[in-house]
Amino acid sequence: MPELQAAVKAVAPSARFLKSCSASGGTPANGEWFPGAGSEVKTTETVSEMLKAIREGGANQCINYAIKFDKWPKDKPVLLSKKDIETITSVLPQKVKDDCHFQHARVKAFAEKSRASMHDFEYEVSPGCTLGTKLVPVKTAGCYVPGGRYCHISSAIMSVTTAKVAGVQNVVACSPPMPGTTDMHPATVYAMHVAGADHILAMGGVQAVAAMAYGFLTDAGPAEMIVGPGNALVAEAKRQLFGRLGIDMFAGPTEIMVIADDTADPFIVASDLVSQAEHGVNSPAWLLTTSEKMGKDVMIEMDKAMDKLVVTEPSNPVKEAWRDFGEIVVVSNREELAKLSDLYSAEHLEVHARDLDWWLTTLRNYGSLFLGEETCVTYGDKCSGTNHILPTKSVSRYSGGLSVDKFIKKLTWQRMNREANREVGAAAARISRLEGMEGHARAGDDRLRKYFPDESFVLDSQWKRPKLA
């Protein structure tokens, strides 16, 4: 779209595309890049119909959809018991369990640091008038963990752990059974259990989101917050349920951007771009560089890396993703790189360049930032400690990723003595009348008359609203 092309030129007038996205509306450079843009009407209608059926049919309708879409046996409970969890996870080698505990410990430690940075406070703004903030976790949260072609134990750890550290009393976790089976992936179940899930549902899709939202199938009650990534149907279900409950974000396909100067290693840059493009056929992978040679070298390394990957995984979608959603942009200086990066607001942003502190200070919009070749998105996705449930579709322009604060309400409170009413009551009455809200004003008037019956106050606004003809 012309206005978006103009937006790119406004922040990076020297920009040149060595490789551009071929999909219509596929990047911030040539289409509307925000949640819901390009959403299919069919997806919206399908989800709406399913949610309506579940509202009317309750838990039984959730089960019916699980039987239909997840191929779940009619006589098999979807709520896992303690014995179910033990049986399912008993097949896991100890090393798998050890890795899960390693991952959990680091994510939990980071979440605890985040929680420690938040605190209640109170202060006396004027004599007799005390104001404060109280932090209160939601009571019940739902954590959706994707299934499909991958085993997303990391999503289980990231979502459930963070909710429990935040102080959520009831955490319901759900994930669909493995394709072609009637069991959840044992590692996913183990990760949910280690992270502290209070209830585990072997269910995926719209029906799982709705079950958590409406409080079906467990005694946890309706969720007040639902988090976690999922496919287009899951994302749309969360969007339609927003308002009834809170959600972490309306997520789109995963994204990676790499910023590279002439010091970067094109082999490593390509490796990292491939690592995220494998998520799906519509997963963007973007390279911004100040070196045309770097851009061309990365294109060569991309072909090598993709060829090598599909030899062992022929169904891997990386080539389609790179063909349709890959970009390489060359600009003349790092200032333009930073501005263009902020325009894109990528979910994952790696910097392979000199002066990493400058980039940390300058960059403003990203889901998570990875500074230097020595770290990468894979580390953050799996086990370095930061959360991998992050904003896509340029949402990082106004919001961050999943953290403990997503599950915590920041509630304000106040307390006054009668003496404080002299100042506040009179001012509130005058401001209310200035705004034309007489009922509000009288709440102040009446207190002043009660507490100070022998005193008079200036309660009328000094500005009078003109009478309407």
pLDDT tens digits, 161-191: 999 999 999 999 999 999 888 889 999 999 9
| Per-residue model confidence (pLDDT) at position 126 | 95
pLDDT of 403 higher than 60: yes
| Per-residue model confidence (pLDDT) at position 171 | 98
The per-residue DSSP string of 430-464 comes to: HHHHHTT-HHHHHHHHHHHHHH-TT-----S-SSP
| Other CB atoms within 10 Å distance of the CB of residue 18 | 16
For 315-356, write each residue's pLDDT tens digit: 999 999 999 999 999 999 999 999 999 999 999 999 999 999
Of the pLDDT bands very low, low, confident and very high (cuts 50, 70, 90), residue 2 is very low
For 350-379, write each residue's pLDDT tens digit: 999 999 999 999 999 999 999 999 999 999
Single-letter amino acid, residue 467: K
Nearest alpha carbon to residue 271 among 316, 308, 320: 308
Place of tokens 């990231």: 158
H/E element, 124: strand 121-126
Give me the sheet containing 199-202, strands edge to edge: 199-202, 170-175, 140-144, 225-227, 246-247
Half-sphere exposure of 330 (CA within 13 A, CB side): 14
| Helices (H), ranges, 118-204 | 153-166, 186-195
How far, in Å, CA of 151 to CA of 195, rounded? 16
Of the pLDDT bands very low, low, confident and very high (cuts 50, 70, 90), residue 39 is low
Residue 240: both structure tokens together: 């339609």
pTM: 0.93
* Phi and psi angles of residue 155, each rounded to the nearest 5 degrees, phi first: -65, -35
| Helices (H), ranges, 313-351 | 318-325, 334-344
Of the pLDDT bands very low, low, confident and very high (cuts 50, 70, 90), residue 37 is low
pLDDT of 4 higher than 50: no
CATH number of 2-35+252-385: 3.40.50.1980
Q: How far apart, in Å, are the Cα atoms of 193 and each of 108, 126, 156, 380, 386?
A: 14, 49, 9, 21, 20
How far, in Å, CA of 331 to CA of 357, rounded? 20
CB 385 within 8 A of CB 403: no
Of the pLDDT bands very low, low, confident and very high (cuts 50, 70, 90), residue 36 is confident
Residues in contact with 440: Cβ distance below 8 Å, sequence separation at least 6, in sequence order: 428, 432
For 73-127, write each residue's pLDDT tens digit: 999 999 999 999 999 999 999 999 999 999 999 999 999 999 999 999 999 999 9
Nearest alpha carbon to residue 257 among 377, 378, 379, 389: 377
Mean pLDDT of 16-27: 86
Enzyme catalytic residues: 347-348
| Cα 148 off chain centre by | 20
The ranges of the chain annotated as CATH 3.40.50.1980 are: 2-35+252-385, 41-248+405-410
Mean pLDDT of the chain: 94
Query: Looking at domain 41-248+405-410, which of 3.40.50.1980, 3.40.50.20, 3.40.50.720, 3.30.460.10 is its CATH number?
Result: 3.40.50.1980
How far, in Å, CA of 258 to CA of 347, rounded? 11
pLDDT of 148 higher than 90: no
| Per-residue model confidence (pLDDT) at position 324 | 95
For 246-296, write each residue's pLDDT tens digit: 999 988 899 999 999 999 999 999 999 999 999 999 999 999 999 999 999
**Torsion angle defined by CA atoms of residues 174, 177, 179 and 185, in that order, rounded to the nearest 10 degrees:** 90
For residues 358 and 232, the model is more confident at 358
How far, in Å, CA of 457 to CA of 423, rounded? 10
**Torsion angle defined by CA atoms of residues 371, 373, 378 and 382, in that order, rounded to the nearest 10 degrees:** -60
For 199-226, write each residue's pLDDT tens digit: 999 999 999 999 999 999 999 999 999 9
How far, in Å, CA of 185 to CA of 199, rounded? 16
Nearest alpha carbon to residue 82 among 212, 208, 198, 204: 198
Half-sphere exposure of 150 (CA within 13 A, CB side): 15
User: How does DSSP classify residue 465?
Assistant: P
* Phi and psi angles of residue 211, each rounded to the nearest 5 degrees, phi first: -60, -40
